[in-house]
Amino acid sequence: MTAEHRIRFLLNGQSRETAAASTTLLDFIRETERLTGTKEGCAEGDCGACTVVVTRVVNGEPVLEAVNACITLMGQVDGRAVTTVEGLLGPGRAAHPVQRLLAETDGTQCGFCTPGFVMSLHAFAQSGEAVTVENVHEALAGNLCRCTGYRPIVDTALGLAGPAREDATASPLGGLADSDVNVPGWHAPRTLADLLQLRAERPAAVLVAGATDLGLGPSRDRAPIVDAIDVTRVPELNDITETSTAIEIGAAVTYARALPHLDRLYPTLGTYLRRLGSRQIRNSGTIGGNLGTASPIGDSAPFLLALDAEIELASRAGSRHVAIADFFTGYRKTALKPDDVITTIRLPKLVDGDLFRCDKVSKRYDQDISNVAGTFRLRIEDGRVVEARLAYGGMAATPKRAMAAEACLVGGPFDAAAVDAAVAALPGDLAPIDDMRSTAAYRMAVAGNLLRRFLIAGPAPAGLEAMP
Amino acid sequence: MMLREDRSPRRYEAALKVRGAARFTAEIPVASMLHAALVLSPLPSGRVGRIDAGEALALPGIVRVLTHAEMPRIDRPGVLIPLQGPDVHHAGQPVALVAATTPAAARRGAASVEVAYERRPAILNLADGEPFAPKTAGRTATDSRRGDPETALRQAEVAIGRRYTTATNNHHPMEPQCVTAQWDGERLTVLTTTQAVFAHRLAIAECFGLRPEDVRIVSHYLGGGFGAKGGAWFPHLVMAIAAARVLGRPLRLELTREQMFTLTGRRQETVQDLKLGATKDGRLTAIVHESLAPTSMFGEYADALATVTRVLHACPNVATRQRLARVNAPQPNPARAPGEGPGSFALESALDELAYELDLDPLELRLRNIAAHDQHVDLPWSSNGLRECYRAGAASFGWARRPMRPGSLREGHQAIGIGMAAACYPAYRMASEAAVGIGADGRVKVRCGTQDMGSGTYTVLAQLAAEALGMSYAEVDVELGDSLLPEGPYSGGSMATASFTPAVETAARDLRGRLLALASADAASPLAGIAPERMSIADGMIRSGNRSEPVSELVARRAPQGLEARAGAAPEARPDFSAFGFGAVFAEVRVDSDLGEVRVSRLTAAYAAGRILNPLLARSQFVGGLIWGVGMALHEATVMDPHLGRVVGTSLADYLIPVHADMPAFDIHMVEEDEPRLGSGGVKGIGMLGTVGTAAAIANAVFHATGRRVRDLPIRVEHLLRPD
């Protein structure tokens, strides 16, 4: 790993090279390439005005994904094809069908958010998903608009029925491949052994997966990342494997890739995850990265706790497994040692008789930090609860299990009396606070009501009933 | 009458915007330009001491660090132009400006400047300030009085008194503010995100002692404004222009999203006390509306909170009183439906409460109090379509099926509620000029120095000219957003369209008359000798009987340089009528009984707002206004730390503007009115109206769903799940 390999990628079909690995994709597009259709609205991945489509080849098939260019770093686009709003134009600058429809429905007013919407709509049209109101809302949740009230944009999306996938050409990358990037400040090892070696040699380097958190520095503060190791090119970290008892998700697997698997295995988890960040964020962000940054408000911790997930850590000395409960050791602190890398997250499957439910309460439906998040799993044998795991986010300084409440549920049937006892025990387990998002009293009341709803509604899809 | 959206011309510049080809201010390159970043005070009150820029200056790309010591003095009372002195009046106030060769270098430089402060006492909360009477409230008088409301309240058969509060809101247009200032001797070019090309030209000329004609302001596309790109942006615009002068090079300043919480104005929070008196059969006998809101330590601004109270409902005895108190916080300024939005929340919530006191349907209560004339100024209405709005909205919404008792409607674990409110907004106008010309190629050009912040100004300018001339919409080009053009109006107060419409129509009709006279007098024209009044223009052809000639051929032959007509229009000095747009909003909400989550599931609104030029775009404006009402009701609040005086949470992840899934189904009705007396060509303005009344309709629906009356915006989940 000595020779310099610059980042190579396609921009609107043209080949490009750069060594500026921790420059944001948005700065590259706007400042270097002077393609100003892509906008900077917040520089934090919140508004979607900078949305572009990144294409990569997975199992020989092109996969088009919308991402926030503001928090995507150049190192991440190596071997990929980037399409901006300008790149959608046909011969003679003819508007793309998405662009034509959006103009026709009056889906653009001030026009500043419009290119981002165009790209999210394009990715949606190319995804082959069913064109339903729910899917449209999810696909566009990461794009904010202050003028239109969104309805004409939703109408545009609904008008995209039966996408032709005409843009998914046979070889969108033109033979481009991951190039084992090695430029100052950015290393992208291709094997686990190389990754562990680099990690050991560069204890001060930051590990980058989706950069949805790390990207804020280069974006909002224009503060470059001095030394980064990109973990996403290591095959082992991109695997999803299933056994009869568990699913193992590589640390570099994005939320978007994990979602269909988790949706299938754990009722309500898919709905819950679709409200985590936005599609742009889920297309980049990873569970491994979320664990690594150890954000206290991360929405993944409650379901990992309830499912009793196990984290595999690896270093040159070998690998070891840490229970999720032992992984978080304090505010933004984890069990990771300086030369450790998170390799996989192992989630036990539910067994017959298990009850499971995730819920999230927020003021705004999508892309909002939870006031309270709760995930519950009960194991029931012969009509009696033999194991209970009740995990909450937003109810204490760190995501936390309510163990006294769990004890109230174990040993008897899962019924109203048991739930009443468990709800009564919650104040001993949890210590919510008043803050700008909510009050302690409300959080405690909701924590109990989520548990009651678990009893009444069972593992029904969470949240969807509140949709218009 | 039914308005056909499907026949409306499509948005003029939409094709550019969907291609990403509309060039916004930050995208216009200027040779040898520097980039600015700001160093901000973390303290809400204090004095800047030593500023150490040594580390910043050592970084690559940094050209200079400017503080108040290096900046020229600018005399502009009432506004806080940053870097004019060492005093700090609010957290987030700029105390230094870093100029660098790239935006990234400037940003890094700003992070490296060390500033020492002397801390001073601060007033951080509205309750701690000293109330005083502002000179005006928006464009209205601070206080008002008719009849004897105190006595009427005492003698009222039914009386209520309630306190309502609304939160600080930020505008957050999607495009952050930007300015590029370029000096050429004593001439100045300013590319900026402004809602007021001409007002800013004049004010900037005054600040720098220049002739207005030596200042050029350019604003071709605005990524939203909502009030944030008017007066509140002006001080920072001036700061950047002054810095460019000191630097001797063009300078661009782009605000960050975080800075848009403190440097571009805000909708002020309010505390409002509403007292209503009525007869048992629901006639209003007294209204007293008193309000308190914060202003900054250096400026004075009060939203017109009482406008709606003074005119919307008939009532013989009304007193309104608006007070401000100074706090160490950023300067408030108008935000979409300034005053009328939060003020109508209080009034229309109180009306709903009165309806329940009286056990009278809330719509029926309003129908019994329709004002036959404007009692505030004692003038007849130019028109008042409120009754028709009530009827059309209620019929479409299905209001008649609403049970009176709160908590009557349920679906699973959701409580369903429906509520309504009325709305009005003044039909403002200002002076405007416009020019309409035609070239030898047959293309029409409209020139007007107003700006388009997404409201549809390009479109209606083209449409007005096309219709008045008899040309097709596709043959019209529009130039706006430049102070070299004929002087156009401010984009705000829903007044731009009403202001330029008569100027454009007069200019277009004048041009039409000249074209017809030209044809009549031209021996080479097939129309030679025919009196102009016997000719018509349609589809680009001049016709009379069976004779005709394309306009383009006539122009090419007789006026190869093209023809242009220019006209101006100004509002009546003392109109003998009162002009308002009116509306009625109906909301359905669903409240989760276990979690308190509120979703607005349906919004029906009917508006009577004069002549509607383009139903498609008007609908977009009404829906946009309604969304602002939804945000005000359920989501938006700029939270200030009560001890530090800083904004808590300065990102769009913290400040919640509604997302797709929060949007209800919209059902918009436009009641078109004939307004021959309005000099605006019948236009009343529509941008604000949708934000008036909407928050009250939602809060009233929440009451109907849950029996809980929430008097504090935004409605929070914990409001609805608290123990009784």
| A464 Cβ under 8 Å from any chain B Cβ | no
**In this predicted structure, what is the pLDDT of residue A466?**
31
Write down the domain spans for chain A. Answer: 7-158, 185-348, 355-466
Of B174, B225, B620, the CB nearest to A152: B620
Distance from CA of B237 to the nearest CA of A (A): 19
Give pLDDT, residue A57. 84
Average pLDDT over residues A173-199: 83
Nearest-CB residue to A369 (from B226, B653, B659): B653
* Contacts B623 to A, Cβ<8 Å: 148-149, 151
d(CA A365, CA B185): 54
The continuous run of DSSP H or E covering A330 comes out as strand A328-330
Identify the closest residue of chain B to A102 by CA–CA distance.
B18
SS3 A143: coil
Answer whether CATH 3.30.390.50 is correct for domain A355-466.
yes
Residue B386 confidence (pLDDT): 98
Residues of chain A with Cβ-Cβ distance to B173 below 8 Å are: 110, 112, 146
Per-residue pLDDT tens digits for A79-109 = 999 999 999 999 888 999 999 999 999 999 9
Q: What is the pLDDT of residues B284-331, one digit of tens each?
A: 999 999 999 999 999 999 999 999 999 999 999 999 999 999 999 999
Q: How many CB atoms lie within 10 A of CB B477?
A: 16
How would you classify the pairing of strands B251-254 and B178-184?
Answer: antiparallel
On average, the pLDDT of chain A sits at 88
Q: What pLDDT digit, counting tens, does each position of B443-477 carry?
A: 999 999 999 999 999 999 999 999 999 999 999 99
Structure tokens at A261: 């698997």
On whether the CB atoms of residues A421 and A408 are closer than 8 A, the answer is: yes
Give me the interface pTM, i.e. the ipTM.
0.95
B576-595 pLDDT, tens digit each: 999 999 999 999 999 998 88
Query: At residue A453, does pLDDT exceed 60?
Result: yes
| Spatial contact of A284 and A290, defined as CB atoms under 8 Å apart | no
Quickly count: other Cβ atoms within 10 Å of residue B75's Cβ: 9
Given this model, what pLDDT does residue A178 score?
Answer: 61
CATH superfamily for A7-158 is: Beta-grasp domain (3.10.20.30)
The beta-carbon neighbor of B653 closest among A44, A84, A111 is A44
Question: Which of A110, A134, A438 has the highest number of chain B CBs within 10 A, making it the mutation to test binding with B?
Answer: A110
Model confidence at A369, pLDDT cuts 50, 70, 90, reads low
Length of chain B: 724
* Alpha-carbon gap, residue B683 to B110, rounded angstroms: 48
Q: How many residues does chain A have?
A: 468
Cβ-nearest to A361 among B108, B648, B717: B717
Q: Is residue B622 within 8 Å of B606, Cβ to Cβ?
A: no
Instruction: Give the residue on B whose Cα is nearest the Cα of A142.
Output: B659
**A335, two tokens:** 């069990």
- Is there a contact between B78 and B258 (Cβ–Cβ < 8 Å)? no
A185-348 and A355-466 agree in CATH topology: no
The pLDDT assigned to B317 comes to 98
CB spacing of A151 vs B617 below 8 angstroms = no
Give domain B332-428+577-721's CATH architecture. Answer: 2-Layer Sandwich (3.30)
Chain A residues closer than 8 Å to B105 by CB = 222
Question: Quick one: pLDDT band at residue A464, thresholds 50, 70, 90?
Answer: very low
**Beta carbons of B475 and B540 less than 8 angstroms apart:** yes
Residue pLDDT, tens place only, A386-424: 999 999 988 877 788 999 999 999 999 999 999 999 999
% pLDDT > 70, chain A = 90
Q: How many Å apart are CA A211 and CA A76, to the nearest integer?
A: 9
pLDDT of residue A179 exceeding 70? no
Q: Tell me whether B643 touches chain A (CB under 8 Å).
A: no
Chains A, B: CB contacts within 8 A come to 256
Q: What angle do CA B322, B323, B329 make, to 5 degrees?
A: 130
pLDDT at A379 over 80: yes
Measured between CB atoms, which of A36, A102, A442 is closest to B27? A36
**Chain B 98-137, residues with CB within 8 Å of chain A CB atoms:** 102-105, 107-108, 111
User: How many angstroms separate the first and last alpha carbons of chain B?
Assistant: 48
pLDDT in tens, B62-96: 999 999 999 999 999 889 999 999 999 999 999 99
Q: Please report which confidence band the pLDDT of residue A367 belongs to, taking 50, 70 and 90 as the band edges.
A: low
Tokens matching residue B19:
């291609």
The pLDDT of residue B659: 87
DSSP state for residue B634 in the 8-state scheme: I
* pLDDT at site B5: 67
Which residue from B273, B274, B286 is spatially nearest to B158, judged by alpha carbons?
Answer: B286
CATH 3.90.1170.50 range(s) for chain B read 25-122+175-223+229-261
Where are the extended beta strands (E) located within A28-139?
51-58, 61-68, 81-83
Nearest in space to B283 (alpha carbons), one of B370, B402, B200, B400: B370
pLDDT at B1: 40
pLDDT computed for residue A462 by the predictor: 35
The residue ranges of chain B whose pLDDT is under 70 are: 1-6, 722-724
**Where along chain B do the CATH 3.30.365.10 domains lie?**
332-428+577-721, 432-569
Q: Is B220 within 8 Å of B2 (Cβ atoms)?
A: no
B541, two tokens: 């052809």
What's the pLDDT score for residue B724? 47
What's the topology of domain B432-569? Aldehyde Oxidoreductase; domain 4 (3.30.365)
Angle between helices B457-469 and B496-521 (to 10 degrees): 30
- The whole-angstrom separation of Cα A163 and Cα B329 is 51
CB contact set of B501 (below 8 Å; sequence gap of 6+): B460, B464, B613, B680, B681, B683
Model pLDDT, residue A459 = 47
* Measured distance CA(A138)–CA(A127) in Å, rounded: 13
Task: Give me B209's structure tokens.
Answer: 């002692």
Supply the pLDDT for residue B104.
92
Is A144 an interface residue toward B (CB < 8 Å)? yes
Proportion of chain A above pLDDT 90, given as a percent: 63
Indicate whether A445 pLDDT > 90: no
To the nearest 10°, the Cα dihedral for A271, A273, A274, A277?
A: 150
CATH number of A185-348, picked from 3.30.465.10, 3.40.50.1360, 3.30.390.30, 3.30.565.10: 3.30.465.10
Q: State how far the Cα of A348 lies from the Cα of A307, in Å rounded to an integer.
A: 7
CA distance B684 to B580: 7
> Check: CATH 3.90.1170.50 for B25-122+175-223+229-261?
yes
Closest-CA distance of chain A to residue B21, Å:
6
Alpha-carbon span A359 to A463, nearest angstrom:
7
- Supply the DSSP symbol for B86: S
Q: Taking residues A246-266, what's their average pLDDT? A: 95
